[in-house]
Structure 1
Amino acid sequence: MKRTRHRESASRQAPVGQAGAFTPDAISVRPRALEVGGEWVASFAVTGYPREVHPGWLQPLLTYPGRVDVSLHIEPIDPVTAANRLKKQLSKLESGRRHTSDKGRLIDPQVEAATEDAYDLSARVARGEGKLYRLGLYLTVHAATEEALGDEVAAIRSLAASLLLDCKPTTYRSLQGWITSLPMGLDLVGMRRTFDTSALSAAFPFTSPDLPPPDPTSVGAPRGVLYGFNVGSQGLVHHDRFALDNHNSVILGRSGAGKSYLVKLELLRSLYRGIEIHVIDPEDEYARLAAAVGGTYVHLGAEQVRLNPMDLTIHTRPDGRRTAPRDALIRRSLFLHTVISVLLGSELAATDRAALDRAITATYQRAGITSDPRTWTRPAPLLADLAEVLAEAGGADLAARLQPFTTGAFSGLFSGPTTTRPEGHLVVFSLRDLPGELKAIGTLLALDAVWRQVSNPAIRKPRQVVVDEAWLLMKDLAGGEFLLRMSKGSRKWWGGVTVATQDAPDVTSTDLGKAIIANAATQILLRQAPQAIDEICRIFDLSQGERQFLLTADRGQGLLSTGTQRVAFQSIASPVEHQLVTSNPAELAEYSDISPETETSFVDLDAA
């Protein structure tokens, strides 16, 4: 039988703003469902629970993608009543066990478990370690049509069964079940279960798959960068890396997983916050983005674009004065040891290091640069000058090995003074046109130029350094050590280093790579190759579910880890952002603003 209760129009009963304005025009009551104002609802009462639960065990119900109302009704039981009920329950259970034992029957495992739990609960209540409560758990499912309601009900009951919850429909009490789920504090169904304090506290959905805000008491808008939406809760994932202990980030993902897309998206949105960005771009992927936002583009490998590794670190203050650290000459001498090691592709022997050290000092003295800071603003010598001094001072073999980089085929990058002083809110160092033999040294020199900007004590602002395809530098021991030192020291200068690479084993298989990962408070894992997933799981301590997620993740999906918190997300971009950050050749061919004139109009910046 169908019963229909009609209400007068809400506007006739109460003015807008009062409770009457929110009541439905009609409610159609059926045995197991209701039609409320054009929407179908069905209610359930939970009658069976698992024996053991963990904190936040009801969270899957709250993160269900459909609309489900979860209602908890709690009534405390006074200690005297609780003690009497536990005493009676223990008497029943113990009597049943003895009767079963006297008859020679097998003991029921469920009765045995219930008896043990009752004894444990009775002891905790007697010691005052907990109290008893009556709990009613009710679910109300919403759907647009009656057919859709059946599908939603089946899905919810399956989800509840996976949580070991037994849900019973409120048959012939569908109206009472719906009212019980409303935020009115009325339990018209009355199907309750006794819970102790620990079980009740675990039932509260205080845990969430979303990242907690840095300041939970703040009512302002989320700070940080929008990475995308939460795969588990469909909420938005905001993350402020500058609010953590250190500001470094590591992004690991296989080719085609959306690694560069995510890096460029974070970069663009960080610019909105006034963060200065420096990018090491090995494949010329950031050129269009730099042109769109008015950034500086340094095209390493082009004619008349040079970086002199022997330049001393000179800082320019806001008032125009030029200063240098007290140990600038010593630091530059040590850095040149790293440069030579990366150029030659191997560590130097002790005799070669000694000869190189003497040659570096002699080369600077020939250029008029001594330990007196007043001489440090003089023009710096070149790498060819160092090779000449080496040949004269007994390092002929080392000078011969440097010949391709001083006067040979690879000398273009070092054949003169530095031609560019990269400054601005976005600086991109393109390495695409560098020969493969110069990729590592180009990355190192670009990072050195960036570090001079970041470590300027006269100008303090948040800075972000992006090293895309970091394996190019980390394959050399000296280059990896420089990147590690930069990662450790950037926090002191309000900077953060982003290390992104598609060759995860090259990073995770070395001690340097593991140290760089350990010094990154923000860790992002995108889709991984099956060959690398075991090592990734071991280093990042991933669960089986997270392992499977990384193996099957779509493009742009990944895990964002911030120490104790980890969230699965899907990166999203607006149409304009997508046009600037995508590297899909098919999409790039369709954009009308991609033309040869656009590609060559901002390259080869020469400040000389």
Structure 2
Amino acid sequence: MSARRLPWTRTRTDAEPTVASPIGPPGVAVQPRRLDLGEGMCASLVVTGYPREVGLGWLEPLLTYPGRLDVAVHVEPIPPQLAATRLRRQLARLEAGARSDFEHGRLVDFGADTAAGDAQDLAARLARSEVRLFRVGLTLTIHAHTPEQLDDEIARVRALAAGLLIDAKPATFRSLQGWITTLPLGVDLLDVKRTFDTSALAAAFPFTSPDLHADLGEHAVLYGVNAASSSLVMWDRFTCDNHNSVILARSGAGKSYLAKLDILRSLFTGVEVCVIDPENEYERLAHAVGGAHLALGAEGVRLNPFDLPPGAHRSSTDALTRRALFIHTFISVLLETPLTPADRAALDRAIVAAYHSAGLTADPRTWTRQPPVLADLAHTLQTDGDPAANELAARLAPYVTGTWRQLFDGPTTTRPDSHLIVFSLRDLPEELKTVGTLLTLDAVWRRVTDPTMRKPRLVVVDEGWLLMRQPEGARFLFRMAKASRKHWAGLSVITQDAADVLGSDLGQAVVANAATQILLRQAPQALDQITEAFHLTDGERQLLASAHRGQGLLAAGSDRVAFEVVASPAEHALATTDPKFLAELDQQPTGGFTGSPRRGPYALPDEEDDDL
């Protein structure tokens, strides 16, 4: 068959303007085994044989081939009724062949016997509506500049396919149809298909890294791109043994940036998120998605420690007792000194009396009334007559009538109820940091443990080393790490001081109870401790020592994958804290952001974004 030029193409002179040149080649010459496309050429391979069993990301070697290789997967769903009919016919043919071999004394065809067993299993699962069937066609188009180079590339691709137990045949005399099949047109002119079930088809898509083996549920989120390939690293914390995670990195490595992307993508899957934000970094994010932002320490913002959990009168019989016990802890932290037995006795009497004066008794029907405030407790202590009670009242005076009363001077002003709740602690004075943190942690824990509001939740604690320095904060993280799974919640601790976290028993317990562990770039001083704690290899240690911003290691049990964070322009505008970028963002008339995608927590120049 001689070469021929397609009738709709013609040679363009240099003087003629062109519109089609950016779309396709100026001409196509069809050869029996290849196409000549302008300055290059290509050949197509059609896959006719597949392995019996495939794993997650089994097409990854083809997708990461170093040469120019187009891979097209065409999927056509088969109606269940038609699929059942075809399976019955296939089973009948296989059984008839086996019976004929037996009657004629021929040896058993082990391939046909295995195929019959697979068909029976597939028919049973199809009858139970556990799977669906699809007709799938896989076509490969290889590009090169010379015929010799094209022959070498074809040999390499066929050898690679053979290593995957894939039988790839040249599309002889159908090279034009093969090329069109791999174009992004959704047209399969070769129509060489094989029947796949749902799980085999899902494994063929490069949507997850083959280095991660956890099942992807409805709450899977994208973490980034596999650093060793082009596959996407997706992970679902709610399919693991526990739902906790830790992000350890040095300052500026992109840990908060990654946490914000995780929050945004988790919200999209229906997960409720609570954030403890010590530096007010999540305010823009909360406002952008319609969340609730509570800035403790700001004017007019108050939290009443006497508040009972929402719905306590319907779900608990000891909520008032538990709240009284918490008030003991709260007063002890507030006064920064341990209470003596006499102080505890006087305080216990005053707490009960304060609740009774507000009309709240042991009867759950009274728990919907307005609870007392700290001033009511101080007044009860003053009128008690016990010297220990009077001394406690005097010590509480700065928080009731003095300069530190702002956080407790009245009922709770805001009861956050949203899909994203951010508690900002930046505006709290240093003297109230500890007690403000305690109130925030208590509010989060009451929401997580509320049995009337069961839903998947994520509690994000940024700069976790600040909480680890406080006994109450460290105990909260430990309790959340241990018990959050029972309440369908996950704890995400983000910290830049790995030494403080790994240097304490409570910190090590938090890390040990995190099924998902993310390590970004580490400081040289912390590398030895990180290597020992996470049993890193020499290659993984070198990766964390030299990683760029947004590059790191995701570890989940025995599964580990190096990845690079990828964000859309809208996500980047919400997650970044780069002052220069924020200044440019504020100067834009629309307040929005347009531009090329961003890889990692930094803006790449436009000319470097072509590969995204």
Q: What SS is found at the alignment partner of 1:445?
A: helix
Are residues 561 and 371 of structure 1, via their aligned partners in 2, closer, same or farther at CA, if it must alter by over 3 Å?
A: same
Q: What SS is found at the alignment partner of 2:552?
A: strand
In 1: Cα distance, 2:441 partner to 2:154 partner? 68
In 2: Cα distance, 1:418 partner to 1:550 partner? 45
Taking the TM superposition and a 5 Å limit, the aligned residue runs for 1:159-178 are: none
Runs of 4+ in 1 over 6 A off after TM superposition: 5-11, 59-65, 173-179
In 1: Cα distance, 2:520 partner to 2:585 partner? 27
Matching residue within 280, 305, 308 for 1:284: 280
The residue aligned with 1:201 is none
Matching residue within 338, 343, 349 for 2:329: 338
1:377 paired with 2:368, answer: yes
For each residue in 1:188-216, what CA deviation from the matched residue of structure 2 results, as whole angstroms up to 9, or x when unmatched?
A: xxxxxxxxxxxxxxxxxxx976312416x
- Percent identity (aligned): 55
1:548 paired with 2:539, answer: no
Q: What SS is found at the alignment partner of 1:458?
A: helix
1:415 paired with 2:406, answer: no
Deviation at 1:579, TM superposition (A): 0.6
For each residue in 1:33-86, what CA deviation from the matched residue of structure 2 results, as whole angstroms up to 9, or x when unmatched?
A: xx99369xxxxxxxxxxxxxxxxxxx99989772499xxxxxxxxxxxxxxxxx
The residue aligned with 1:464 is 458
Deviation at 1:457, TM superposition (A): 1.5
1:313–1:324: 8 Å Cα contact kept in structure 2? no
Amino acid in structure 1 at the alignment position of 2:212: L
Are residues 351 and 490 of structure 1, via their aligned partners in 2, closer, same or farther at CA, if it must alter by over 3 Å?
A: same
1:37 paired with 2:41, answer: yes
The residue aligned with 1:66 is 66
Amino acid in structure 2 at the alignment position of 1:566: R
The residue aligned with 2:201 is none
Extract unaligned runs of 5+ from structure 1.
Answer: 12-19, 28-34, 40-58, 70-141, 150-169, 187-206, 216-220, 317-321, 599-608
Deviation at 1:361, TM superposition (A): 3.4
Matching residue within 257, 263, 283 for 2:259: 263
The residue aligned with 2:418 is 424
Matching residue within 293, 301, 314 for 2:297: 301
Are residues 543 and 336 of structure 1, via their aligned partners in 2, closer, same or farther at CA, if it must alter by over 3 Å?
A: farther
Deviation at 1:566, TM superposition (A): 1.4
Are residues 436 and 375 of structure 1, via their aligned partners in 2, closer, same or farther at CA, if it must alter by over 3 Å?
A: same
1:577 paired with 2:571, answer: yes
TM-score, length basis structure 1: 0.63
Deviation at 1:414, TM superposition (A): 0.9
2:302–2:412: 8 Å Cα contact kept in structure 1? yes
Deviation at 1:267, TM superposition (A): 0.5
The residue aligned with 1:23 is 33
The residue aligned with 2:308 is 312
In 1: Cα distance, 2:36 partner to 2:441 partner? 69
Q: What SS is found at the alignment partner of 2:276?
A: strand
Are residues 424 and 547 of structure 1, via their aligned partners in 2, closer, same or farther at CA, if it must alter by over 3 Å?
A: same
Deviation at 1:400, TM superposition (A): 4.7
Q: What SS is found at the alignment partner of 1:371?
A: coil
For each residue in 1:445-467, what CA deviation from the matched residue of structure 2 results, as whole angstroms up to 9, or x when unmatched?
A: 12222223222222222111111
Are residues 177 and 265 of structure 1, via their aligned partners in 2, closer, same or farther at CA, if it must alter by over 3 Å?
A: closer
The residue aligned with 2:438 is 444
The residue aligned with 2:496 is 502
Q: What SS is found at the alignment partner of 1:323?
A: helix
Deviation at 1:584, TM superposition (A): 0.6
In 2: Cα distance, 1:419 partner to 1:253 partner? 36
In 2: Cα distance, 1:270 partner to 1:538 partner? 31
Deviation at 1:537, TM superposition (A): 1.9
Deviation at 1:286, TM superposition (A): 1.3
For each residue in 1:432-486, what CA deviation from the matched residue of structure 2 results, as whole angstroms up to 9, or x when unmatched?
A: 2111222232222122222232222222221111111222322121221123223
Q: What SS is found at the alignment partner of 1:496?
A: strand
Amino acid in structure 2 at the alignment position of 1:66: P
2:158–2:168: 8 Å Cα contact kept in structure 1? no
The residue aligned with 1:156 is none
Extract unaligned runs of 5+ from structure 2.
Answer: 8-29, 44-58, 70-141, 170-207, 593-612
Are residues 555 and 337 of structure 1, via their aligned partners in 2, closer, same or farther at CA, if it must alter by over 3 Å?
A: farther
Are residues 255 and 458 of structure 1, via their aligned partners in 2, closer, same or farther at CA, if it must alter by over 3 Å?
A: same
